[in-house]
Amino acid sequence: MTIAFIGLGNMGAPMAHNLLKAGQSIVVFDLNKAAVDELVKAGATAATSPRDAAGKADQAVITMLPAGAHVKAVYEGDDGVLAGVAPGVPLVDSSTIDLLTARHVIETAGAQGNPMADAPVSGGTGGAQAGTLTFMVGADGNLFETLRPILQHMGKNIVHCGGAGTGQIAKMCNNMLLAIQMAGVSEAMALGVKLGMDPKVLAGIINTSSGRCWSSDTYNPWPGVMENVPAARGYTGGFGTALMLKDLGLATEAAKQAGQPVMMGGAAHQLYQWFAANGHSGEDFSAIVKLYSQQD
């Protein structure tokens, strides 16, 4: 039984490695020859195109790509997955992409007899390497049960979000909320400190009160409040501002398509856009606190 894995970037490469470690036979493709060679050294077989890789897979095809345009090209191109894959082989796209493209590709795949799931992840490159990613899976129940054991080689939390497309929806809703909270925690901490409170005391009160949230009790953006978070190491590592900005763009775009207002999400989007445009796109997303604290 062979799995095709397409897209060997920062996330995809360690994910494919984890499949190998679990004893899976895999065939890989990426435009980056070095990334392919690395996997081949570890036991994978190289393919010459997405179509070639998919044609050699009888268990599943997994893709991990930067954006919707890549997903569309890798699946629907002349040398794409759909042109090569055998009927019935399940497909999984773990990219975080726009909902319209996700739904379109899933529909096209289904129409030619390939059940397809969207399964974006959270956990970052650290989680990809450790095999502790969370997969948010949009798939009908049977397909989910088929895919679960495969995804468990790469992640520790395999969440069934509902039918096709719901993986993307769950991730974008969670991350939009996360951005709102991180900006909110930043404002509350900065306001309290400006008014004279000790930041650790304030965080402690929030964390046992109704303002409690992951951005405050697990990932506090204020330097000196917690150890082992990006704020404790100059906002390096973690979940980059550029990625958060991308997810906010996906969420507000989906909201636009659905005619759904997102006032707070829209405000957070513009704040992150401002922050990224002013030289902070490479920092962890909790660095947004600088917007409130770096003043004269």
Kindly identify the residues of this chain, within the stretch 74-133, that bind its own copies according to CB under 8 A: 99, 122
CA distances to 211, 234, 249, 263 from 54, rounded to whole Å, are 48, 42, 31, 42
Could you say whether residue 206 binds its own copies (CB under 8 A)?
Answer: yes
By CB under 8 A, how many residues form the interface with its own copies? 84
Tokens, residue 5? 């894995």
Which stretch in 10-18, 50-58, 110-118, 189-197 sits in contact with its own copies by CB under 8 A? 189-197
Partners of residue 160 on adjacent β-strands: 137
Please state, in angstroms and rounded to a whole number, the distance separating the CA atoms of residues 182 and 267: 12
Could you say whether residue 200 binds its own copies (CB under 8 A)?
Answer: no
Q: Which of 119, 136, 154, 231 binds its own copies (CB under 8 A)?
A: 136
Q: Which of 10, 32, 208, 236 binds its own copies (CB under 8 A)?
A: 208
Q: How many CA within 13 A on the CB side of residue 213?
A: 15
Residues marked active site are found at 171
Task: State the DSSP code for 97.
Answer: -
Tokens, residue 180? 């709102």
State the nearest-atom distance from the C-beta of 276 to its own copies, in Å: 6
Q: Which of 26, 65, 74, 189 binds its own copies (CB under 8 A)?
A: 189
Q: Which of 61, 176, 287, 289 binds its own copies (CB under 8 A)?
A: 176
Q: Which of 219, 230, 238, 247 binds its own copies (CB under 8 A)?
A: 219
Comparing C-alpha atoms, which of 244, 248, 247 is closest to residue 286?
A: 244
Provide DSSP, 16-34: HHHHHHTT-EEEEE-S-HH
Which stretch in 23-31, 59-67, 105-113, 246-254 sits in contact with its own copies by CB under 8 A? 246-254
Tokens, residue 87? 């009927």
- The smaller minimum CB distance to its own copies, of residues 51 and 246, is found at 246
Could you say whether residue 178 binds its own copies (CB under 8 A)?
Answer: yes
Binding mask 25-64 for its own copies (x = CB under 8 A): ----------------------------------------
Please state, in angstroms and rounded to a whole number, the distance separating the CA atoms of residues 90 and 218: 37
Could you say whether residue 159 binds its own copies (CB under 8 A)?
Answer: yes
State the nearest-atom distance from the C-beta of 221 to its own copies, in Å: 12
Tokens, residue 72? 């569309």
| Residue for token pair 């129409």 | 111
Task: State the DSSP code for 85.
Answer: P
Q: Which of 39, 251, 287, 289 binds its own copies (CB under 8 A)?
A: 251
